[in-house]
Amino acid sequence: MSANADVGFVLQEKVLDAIAQHIPVQIVGRNTKAFYGRTPLGEHLSVAGHCGVVSYEPTELVITARAGSSLAEIEALLAERGQMLPFEPPYFGIHAEDTLGGTIACGFSGPRRPYASSARDVVLGVKILTGKGEILRFGGQVMKNVAGFDVSRLMVGALGTLGILLEISLKVLPKAEPEKTQVFSCDAQEAIRRMNVWAGQSLPLSAVMFVDGQLYVRLSGSHVGLVEARKKLGGETMAGSDSLWASARDHKHGFFRDDMPLWRISAPPAAPPIDLPGSWLIEWGGAQRWLKTPMAGDALREVVAAAKGHATLFRGGDRQGEVFHPLSPALMALHQRLKAEFDPHGILNRGRMYANW
Amino acid sequence: MLSPDKQALLTALRCILPADAVLCETEDLRPYECDGLSAYRELPMVVCLPHTIEQVQAILRVCYKMQVPVVARGAGTGLSGGALPLKNGVLLSLAKFMRILEIDAANRIARVQPGVRNLAISQAAAPYGLYYAPDPSSQIACTIGGNVTENSGGVHCLKYGLTVHNVLGLKVLTIDGELLEIGGSTLDSPGYDLLALMTGSEGLLGVIVEVTVKLLSKPERAQVVLAAFDDVVKAAAAVGDIISAGIIPGGLEMMDNPAIRAAEAFVHAGYPVDAAAILLCELDGANEEVSEQILRVRELLQAAGATQVRTARDDAERLKFWAGRKAAFPAVGRLSPDYYCMDGTIPRKRLPEVLKRIAELSAEYQLPVANVFHAGDGNLHPLILYDANKPGELERTEEFGGKILELCIAVGGTITGEHGVGVEKIGQMCVQFAPQELAQFHAVKHAFDPQGLLNPGKAVPTLHRCAEFGAMHVHKGVLSFPELERF
């Protein structure tokens, strides 16, 4: 039996107390993503107890759950009905204890992201607790909804700085059909070229990764579809590839087992290999690239920006510095104004995203 | 006789734009008095037709300084009055921003100006085997800037998403003329998801001056199945059966009998005119996969009690099947002097009771209704037939439409799936959202446009407006002062 409890009003009281006492709070679920973002100020406010599936309608392709719900339990429930979260969320907890709320607040997506959806793409509605202590609902439980500003998706990746996620409604999809992984040996340049050529064709791609001179391509489709696609692609079919994709998704792959600072580089997918020293793992058809390097952030970001990308210090390094790519002055000012409209007292995850707010 | 303020505004605008790009004579303003929701009309004070970002920037700075409201407009095809001008405001037409700046086939993106037509993007991408997925029915005329502003949908949303899922970057001017670059050619961008916030913001937050969209590879094959049912409940159940079987069709559309008959009479699509409902189910993808899915869908439809299941024999027949659906609005328009298109979304399983209640309301208001339905994603378009020349009929139609929207909220849906709130549904926003939520929308607008100069009076009602709407709602069914402006 899964845990199920609505403690929204208890959390609301705590936020109102924090406002009254001018004490910032750090929003914490199961604490599996503490490594991500800047080190925030304030006392822990646990939302893990606010959990449980509120509703699940398989034929409507929608699930609504409280933020503290276990992601693994949600995925297991969906799997019982032959469905899945299309964005293939990562599990960064040692025992996969990640919550739904933390995943959405960070906006994390896994290997299927460029071929299916991102975390933000599937968010249909939210219930949030703002920094004013108000419980508000935006969006809904239907696929198409343009009533009011899209505050629901604004929350995805906002790291809780605009509001505490209480409930989230997500679009789900039928579970991927049988999957096969083809492997090729090539260099990074050739891998990026092939990833993008394939993405421009009618092929059932569901993940692509390049690491250690090997290009891995996952296909999801019906039996005949897979036979056809493998004929077109060539390469060797890999046995037991599920663990490969899970290890890449959850950063348990050998590449990620390292104390070196880990950078996440978001680049135009077809951008040629970026000339920066370090070891690389390229995912998402070239759109997400991981780099392990001791290099300084400013110099690294200059090179990445020249390739029309942006860089996040994902793990390790200086967590008091600029972890996220700096914004233009105009965008930074707008961010601060938005923050002030949701959290006028600056109490929610202060400093987690950018310094000073 | 011009007021001094208007004279000063015109003088300032004429310093920015050539004489023929600043319109203020009544006959020149007339084409801009309404958008696709023609029941609402207003002449703007002045129309500006800039053709560079710098000109738009300068116009906004003048308006900001002189506190003149601004309404941006693309092709004016919107169906909720979002581009309705203000009589004391500037109507900013982006029609001259018609250039496709770049088709980057390797990265599968197109960078375009906001006045580029939706279909023109797919046409420009076609030589590379690519296309732009969202396809609102107005796609031959509507512009991408308007699509972003309204978060437009179309018949392929269930599988390929709305505009918000297909836009990667925007250049936006704020009311004070600041240029914001949001996103670009990457899948995500640092900071808050302003791309999502801008998409569907109905011109309240900024003026879009450039758009980067995602292009998709054209499916190898698309095939459509038409199924007829003698009962709408069975047709609705069949939709659930297809989705439960793990199939996500490229398009899944439903029409009821009045819509079928109207479309058939208009385009001769080969629809069975005696059916209570038809479903059009398009499957797309790799050749072999489509063949397999067609067989599966045919079985499911037959098991669901379809009286007839036909697979289009070739592409010509496939296009003919779609022609009927795509022409449904004008086809219904032929049956009646006017029609009013509604746009609610509901959980799909509530469709039978919603259709039943709409039929009851139709009898009550003595106004016929035809229903077309994006069945896959629950987006319902009831078309109310009326005659604006009959005294009181427009008012009765609007009230009936309002009841349909409130019904959508009551069953757990929303008042607008893809057409936007505009001026049309502003009253129902008070029903769908609590006062604190509406206040938060105003707070978001305040962060972008503290003086409230961009498209004021649209999309988000003032709490004062809601109090009036609520009061009128309780006391009687009709608005007390129909001659008054409704903001």
* pLDDT for B47: 98
* Positions of chain A with pLDDT lower than 70, given as ranges: 1-2
Residue of A nearest to B413 (CA): A142
- Helices B53-66 and B4-16 cross at an angle (nearest 10°) of 160
Residue of A nearest to B215 (CA): A200
Residue of B nearest to A203 (CA): B286
- C-alpha B282/C-alpha B305 separation (Å) is 19
Kindly report the pTM of this predicted structure: 0.95
B389 — pLDDT class (breaks 50, 70, 90): very high
- C-alpha B54/C-alpha B3 separation (Å) is 28
| Nearest CA-CA distance, residue B279 and chain A, Å | 17
Cβ-contact B355, B185 below 8 angstroms:
no
CA-nearest of B185, B184, B177 to B206 is B177
* pLDDT for B475: 35
Give B-chain residues touching A166 at CB under 8 angstroms: none
For residue B122, the 8-state DSSP code is H
Determine the Cα angle at A28 with ends A54 and A293, to 5°: 120
* pLDDT for B1: 57
Q: Which of A143, A267, A308 is opposite residue B157, by nearest beta carbon?
A: A143
pLDDT for residue B486 is more than 60: no
| Nearest CA-CA distance, residue A177 and chain B, Å | 9
CA-nearest of B406, B409, B396 to B369 is B396
* pLDDT for B2: 73
For residue A271, the 8-state DSSP code is P
Q: Which of B162, B188, B247 is opposite residue A144, by nearest beta carbon?
A: B162
For residue B454, the 8-state DSSP code is B
DSSP B188-244: --SSS-HHHHHTT-TTSS-EEEEEEEE-EEPPSEEEEEEEEES-HHHHHHHHHHHHH
Residue of B nearest to A113 (CA): B187
Does the beta carbon of B217 lie under 8 angstroms from any beta carbon of chain A?
Answer: yes
Tokens read off for A289? 């690239």
- C-alpha B114/C-alpha B122 separation (Å) is 15
Inter-chain CB proximity B345 and A156 less than 8 Å: no
* pLDDT for B154: 86
pLDDT tens-digit readout, B28-50: 999 999 999 988 999 999 999 99
Check if B221-331 and B338-475 are the same fold.
yes
Question: Which residue, chain included where needed, has tokens 């505490």?
Answer: A164
> What is the strand order of the sheet B70-73 is part of?
B22-23, B46-48, B90-93, B70-73
CA A314 to chain centre: 12
Does the beta carbon of B165 lie under 8 angstroms from any beta carbon of chain A?
Answer: yes
Cβ-contact B208, B97 below 8 angstroms:
no
Could you state, in order of their start, the residue ranges of all structural domains in chain A?
8-174, 179-258+260-315
Inter-chain CB proximity A136 and B200 less than 8 Å: no
- C-alpha B254/C-alpha B48 separation (Å) is 41
The CATH number of B4-93 is which of 3.30.43.10, 3.90.1720.10, 3.40.50.150, 3.30.565.10?
3.30.43.10
CA A87 to chain centre: 8
Q: Which of A144, A173, A270 is opposite residue B157, by nearest beta carbon?
A: A144
Does the beta carbon of B289 lie under 8 angstroms from any beta carbon of chain A?
Answer: yes
- C-alpha B23/C-alpha A32 separation (Å) is 60
Amino acid at A187: D
Identify the three-state secondary structure at position A204.
coil
Cβ-contact A88, A176 below 8 angstroms:
no
Distances (CA, A) of B240 to A141, B132, B153, B262, B302: 16, 28, 21, 26, 14
Inter-chain CB proximity A312 and B190 less than 8 Å: yes
Inter-chain CB proximity B191 and A331 less than 8 Å: yes
CA-nearest of B248, B240, B237, B158 to A177 is B248
- C-alpha B195/C-alpha B399 separation (Å) is 35
Does the beta carbon of B193 lie under 8 angstroms from any beta carbon of chain A?
Answer: yes
Does the beta carbon of B435 lie under 8 angstroms from any beta carbon of chain A?
Answer: no
Q: What CATH architecture is B221-331? A: 2-Layer Sandwich (3.30)
| Per-residue buried b or exposed e for B1-27, using 16+ beta carbons within 10 Å of the residue's own CB | eeeeeeeebeebbeebbeeebbbbeee
B481 — pLDDT class (breaks 50, 70, 90): very low
| Nearest CA-CA distance, residue A257 and chain B, Å | 25
Q: Give the mutation candidate from A109, A120, A138, A149 for the B interface (greatest B CB count, under 10 A).
A: A149
Q: Domain spanning B338-475: which CATH class is it, in words?
A: alpha beta
Amino acid at A315: R
DSSP A86-142: TT-----STTS--BHHHHHHHT---TTTTTS--HHHHEEEEEEEETTS-EEEEE-SS
CA-nearest of A279, A277, A87, A31 to B188 is A87
- C-alpha B63/C-alpha B109 separation (Å) is 34
Other residues' Cβ atoms within 10 Å of the Cβ of residue A49: 14
CA B302 to chain centre: 33
Question: Which residue, chain included where needed, has tokens 């920037």?
Answer: B57
Identify the three-state secondary structure at position A39.
coil
Inter-chain CB proximity B107 and A268 less than 8 Å: yes
Does the beta carbon of B59 lie under 8 angstroms from any beta carbon of chain A?
Answer: no
Inter-chain CB proximity A136 and B436 less than 8 Å: yes
Q: What topology does CATH give the domain A8-174?
A: 3.30.465
Inter-chain CB proximity B460 and A148 less than 8 Å: yes
Tokens read off for A325? 């790519």
Inter-chain CB proximity A147 and B429 less than 8 Å: yes
- C-alpha B297/C-alpha A43 separation (Å) is 55
Which residues 254-273 on chain B approach chain A with CB closer than 8 angstroms? none
Give B-chain residues touching A150 at CB under 8 angstroms: 151, 164, 196-197, 199-201
Question: Which residue, chain included where needed, has tokens 């590449």?
Answer: A255
Could you state, in order of their start, the residue ranges of all structural domains in chain B?
4-93, 103-217, 221-331, 338-475
Q: Which of A59, A121, A221 is opposite residue B240, by nearest beta carbon?
A: A59
Pairing of strands B70-73, B90-93: parallel
* Mean per-residue pLDDT over chain B, rounded: 93
> Which residues 6+ apart lie within 8 Å of A293 measured at CB?
A260, A261, A263, A276, A277, A278, A279, A300
Residue A351 backbone zone (phi > 0: left; psi -120 to 50: alpha; other: beta): left
The hierarchical CATH code for the domain B103-217 is 3.30.465.10
- C-alpha B444/C-alpha B454 separation (Å) is 13
* pLDDT for B329: 86
| Nearest CA-CA distance, residue A291 and chain B, Å | 17
- Helix/strand/coil percent split, chain A, to 5: 30, 25, 45
| Nearest CA-CA distance, residue A20 and chain B, Å | 20
pLDDT tens-digit readout, B427-442: 999 999 999 999 999 9
Inter-chain CB proximity B378 and A142 less than 8 Å: yes
Inter-chain CB proximity A147 and B165 less than 8 Å: no
| Nearest CA-CA distance, residue A283 and chain B, Å | 12
* pLDDT for B321: 95
* pLDDT for B476: 34
* pLDDT for B467: 87
CA-nearest of B339, B114, B158 to B250 is B158
pLDDT for residue B478 is more than 60: no
Cβ-contact B146, B158 below 8 angstroms:
no
Inter-chain CB proximity A150 and B197 less than 8 Å: yes
* Mean per-residue pLDDT over chain A, rounded: 96
| Nearest CA-CA distance, residue A293 and chain B, Å | 20
| Nearest CA-CA distance, residue A58 and chain B, Å | 7
Q: Which of B153, B217, B377 is opposite residue A202, by nearest beta carbon?
A: B217
The H or E element that residue B130 is part of is strand B130-131
**Residue A233: exposed, middle, or buried by beta-carbon count in 10 A (0-12, 13-18, 19+)?**
middle
State the count of interchain CB pairs (< 8 A) between A and B. 257
Which residues 73-92 on chain B approach chain A with CB closer than 8 angstroms? none
Tokens read off for B200? 């569907």
Q: Which of A68-82, A299-313, B128-142, B164-178 is predicted with the least confidence, judged by mean pLDDT?
A: B128-142
pLDDT for residue B487 is more than 50: no
pLDDT tens-digit readout, B196-211: 999 999 999 999 999 9
pLDDT for residue B4 is more than 90: no
Partner residues linked to B47 by β-bridges: B23, B91
DSSP B393-453: HHHHHHHHHHHHHHHHHHTT-BS-SSS--TTTTHHHHHHHS-HHHHHHHHHHHHHH-TT--
Residue of A nearest to B166 (CA): A121
Does the beta carbon of B441 lie under 8 angstroms from any beta carbon of chain A?
Answer: yes
